[in-house]
Amino acid sequence: MARRRRPPEPSRFTRSHLLIGVALSVILVGVLFAVAMPVPTWLKQRRDTARLEAELAEVQSERAGITAELERLGTDSEIEAQARRNGYVRPGEEAYNILPSPVDPVGLPDTWPFTGVEAALGVR
């Protein structure tokens, strides 16, 4: 008599390996999402930090220049020079202003639309 062979039953050992593999895969995917999702934000923050550090260096340089100019403008000789540029004089001195030369009149043609313009402006 020939014996019938039964198909082998899946062992529990194989099922447990399958469950462990699935669980590890789910955990691995979760870890990858947890790590990969913040990466673009982190890269953007690095770019922003570099840009802002360059801007800060520029502002600090500008501030140093303004501070140096402020110290220079605070001296007595510079205060006097600025006052003289604005027309101030010391007591006992006389101030003279030189007026610009008068503007030459513009000769307009005697054709329309210029007829009467010079008379209205009081040029002739």
Convert the pLDDT of each residue in 37-88 to its tens digit: 888 888 999 999 999 999 999 999 999 999 999 999 999 999 999 999 998 9
Q: How does DSSP classify residue 114?
A: S
C-alpha distance from residue 87 to each of 32, 69, 116 (Å): 74, 22, 41
Q: Is the peptide bond before 40 cis (omega within 30 degrees of 0)?
A: no
C-alpha distance from residue 121 to each of 60, 98, 117, 118, 124 (Å): 55, 26, 6, 5, 8
Which residues touch 108 (CB under 8 Å, ≥6 apart)?
Answer: 114, 117, 118
Query: What band does 25 get if pLDDT is binned at 50, 70 and 90?
Result: very high
For the chain, how big is the Rg over CA atoms in Å?
45
Tokens of residue 105, six digits = 């009149």
Distance of CA 107 to the CA centre of its chain: 51
Say whether pTM exceeds 0.85: no
Looking at residue 121, its pLDDT comes to: 72
- Tell me: pLDDT of 1 over 60: no
